[in-house]
Amino acid sequence: MPPTLPSPRTLIPAALFLGAVVLVLVMPLAGAAVLGVLGVVLLFLLFPCDWRVAAFCLAGAMYINVIRLFVDSLYPLLLFDFLLCLAVFVSFLNHAARRRIASAESPLVLSPPVILALLFLVLCVVQLWNPNVPDVQFALKGFRKTCLTIVGFFAAVWMFRGRDELDKTWRIVGLAALPVCLYAVKQALFFSAFDYRMLDTVAADVATMRLARGYRAFSIFPGPFHLGMFSCIAALIALYLLKGPNRLFWGAVYLTAFLAMVFAQTRTNLLAFFAVSLLFLLLTTDHPGKWIRNLLLLGLLALPLVYAGYALRIEKFERLVVSLTRVQEDSRLLKRFDLYPQIIQAIREHPLLGYGMGSGGDTLEAAIGVVHFTSHNLALKLLLETGVLGAICFLGVTLLCLRRFLELWRRRGKAPETYRLAALSVSIIAVIYINGLVGSAIEPYPANLLFWFAQGSLVLLTDMPALSAEGKTPGQAMQEGLDREC
Q: Which residues contact 7 (CB under 8 A, 6 or more apart)?
A: none
For residues 82, 83, 89, 90, the Cα torsion angle rounded to the nearest 10 degrees is 160
Phi-psi region of 219 (alpha: psi -120 to 50; beta: other; left: phi over 0): left
Per-domain boundaries in the chain = 51-64+75-474
> What would the pLDDT profile of 133-164 be if each residue is shown by its tens digit?
888 888 888 898 899 999 999 999 989 988 99
Q: How far apart are CA 65 and CA 412, in angstroms?
A: 39
Backbone dihedral angles phi then psi of residue 210, each to the nearest 5 degrees: -75, 135
* pLDDT of 61 above 90: yes
- Calculate the average pLDDT of the chain: 78
pTM of the model: 0.81
- Band the pLDDT of 265: cuts 50, 70, 90: confident
Q: Where are the alpha helices (DSSP H) in 350-473?
A: 378-410, 416-435, 447-463, 465-470
Angle, to 10 degrees, between the axis of helix 112-126 and the axis of helix 151-159? 150
> What would the pLDDT profile of 418-427 be if each residue is shown by its tens digit?
999 999 999 9
The residue ranking higher by pLDDT, 247 or 233, is 233
> What would the pLDDT profile of 97-113 be if each residue is shown by its tens digit?
655 444 444 444 578 99
DSSP single-letter state for residue 5: P
The residue ranking higher by pLDDT, 341 or 392, is 392
According to DSSP, the residues that pair with 211 across neighbouring strands are: 214
Contact 371, 364 (CB under 8 A): no
The pLDDT value given to residue 114:
93
The pLDDT value given to residue 348:
92
Is 292 in a helix, a strand, or coil? helix
The pLDDT value given to residue 286:
75
For the chain, what percentages of helix, strand and coil (3-state, to nearest 5) are there?
Answer: 75, 0, 25
- ∠ CA 317-249-314, nearest 5°, is 10
